[in-house]
Amino acid sequence: MKQRSMSPPMWWAGFRPAAPALAAGLVLLALAFYREGEAAVTTWWDSTAYNHGFLVLPIAFWLLWERRMLLIGAMARPTLLVLLAALPLAGMWFVAERLGVMEGRQLAAMALVQVLLLAVLGWDFYRRLLWPALYLFFLVPFGGFLVPALQNFTLGFIDHGLTLLGIPFFSDGFSVEIPEGKFYVAEACAGLRFLIASLAFGVLYAGVMYRRTGRRVVFVLASLIVPVLANGMRALGIVVLGHVIGSARAATADHLIYGWGFFAFVTFVLILGGLPFREPIAGGVAPAASEPARGWVIWPGVALGLLALAAPLAALALDRIAAAEGVRFAFAAPTGCSATPDEARPALLVAANGATLGFLCAGGEIRLTLVALPARTEPGLVLRVMRVLTGEAGADDAVISPLPAKPWRLIATRAETEAPFRLTTAALWIAGERAGPGVGLRLRQGLRSLRGGSGVPLIAVLAPVRAMGEDAAAARLRAFLAATPDLTANLAAASAAR
């Protein structure tokens, strides 16, 4: 009598019982957080610092395929207790949404995906696919808050380098001036795009080439430190090149292209430096585990999806309340100003239930634009509206300076590297109190979005009507604020009115 040989288990066999629950949970999470996904894809497309986002999913699936032999013998066992972690994560998403922090919302949503995987697959299965699962966090375009620090580091690197080389220079803000011309350390030159791309590559390389945690950590740290130092050397090299050839403009003509070439060289050096320490990924067949009961395995995914949906539904309810409030406020125009015709009013916030007014002041040389929003408007929308009105949204460079007439700020934006600056002054009041675009605004308006209150967020933007040079426009705006001392008080009173 012939004895039938037992075929080895396939690597996906242990995943099959969990597939319905995983599919249900992912569908519900996609419904709950589709806005976060849209914002991420938009950022990938618009920002060169995050173009690699389109490659993250294919890379994660490739990492899973590379580790498929590790999944042999692993059996999905739902861990219902893990579902409790969805509650604080949903709360974190709600707080980030009320504060207007998209990165926080996206990170919370991705953390909920990890909870779904862990709850449905169980600890043993999740541990075996940990590296491709955690690589999904690179879908989130994070790190924008590092730009000012990177700009300061790059500027300091240039200053110390020029001092050591004996090249005379003068630095002010984010600009460096040498006898041959002026250089500006813009946001695009801060090195964020190099840093994020290098980190994504470093994590991929460490996960493929190494097994021991220590080696992985060392290579990831090198992927963080080396591009920052390399970007400082690149920026210093451009300034030195301008000194050598006698023209700052010629040295910066194709500096972004040179930068990517330099980054490719630095990445190649990292690869070569890491190759001698590579370790093969261990494979092997673990003993097959018993299959759990299938009748209830879909419920962990459904339960987590429903828990995650509660936070967006609560935020939607608050937004509907804010939309129904409407805005009414009275504003006394400053002396010498007249209202513009209706057709000349900015139509920016019709969809946001805001109110817009335009004024021509000081003999037609200054335009004053006012935008009032409902009291419960979440702070992210307030800041987005302000950025659109001042031109910061979509600008390549922005230089912001405080003015003596608080809370007004002078904002210079430029859409292209060689284009002239556009100057405006802007100020923001919330319920009669001046506010800046920092954490205080987010906290204050986030609380107001929950409980409401009297007064409204009021944005005021001043801009010259006629085109003029940067210095002349700045002088005109400062002179207007000095000549209309009642303007700030009138705006504060309008914001505080019920």
- pLDDT score at 109: 93
pLDDT tens digit sequence for 160-213: 888 888 888 777 767 777 777 777 777 666 777 788 888 888 888 888 888 888
Q: Residue 398: pLDDT above 80?
A: no
- pLDDT score at 13: 67
Peptide bond into 88 cis (omega under 30): no
- pLDDT score at 88: 92
Q: Give the predicted TM-score (pTM) of the model.
A: 0.77
User: How confident is residue 110, by pLDDT bands cut at 50, 70 and 90?
Assistant: very high
Higher pLDDT, 257 or 428: 428
Q: Residue 106: pLDDT above 90?
A: yes
Taking residues 103-132, report their average pLDDT.
89
User: How confident is residue 350, by pLDDT bands cut at 50, 70 and 90?
Assistant: very low
With pLDDT > 70 as the criterion, what percentage of the chain qualifies? 79
List Cβ<8 Å contacts ≥24 apart for 200-203.
200/52, 200/56, 200/138, 201/267, 201/270, 202/270, 203/135, 203/138
How confident is the prediction for the chain on average, in pLDDT?
77
pLDDT tens digit sequence for 402-432: 777 778 888 887 766 556 678 888 888 888 8
Q: Residue 277: pLDDT above 80?
A: no
Taking residues 46-56, report their average pLDDT.
83
- pLDDT score at 1: 46
Q: Residue 217: pLDDT above 90?
A: no
User: How confident is residue 352, by pLDDT bands cut at 50, 70 and 90?
Assistant: very low
With pLDDT > 90 as the criterion, what percentage of the chain qualifies? 6
- pLDDT score at 358: 67
At 492, which amino acid appears?
A: A
User: How confident is residue 495, by pLDDT bands cut at 50, 70 and 90?
Assistant: confident
Most confident of 109-123, 139-153, 174-188: 109-123
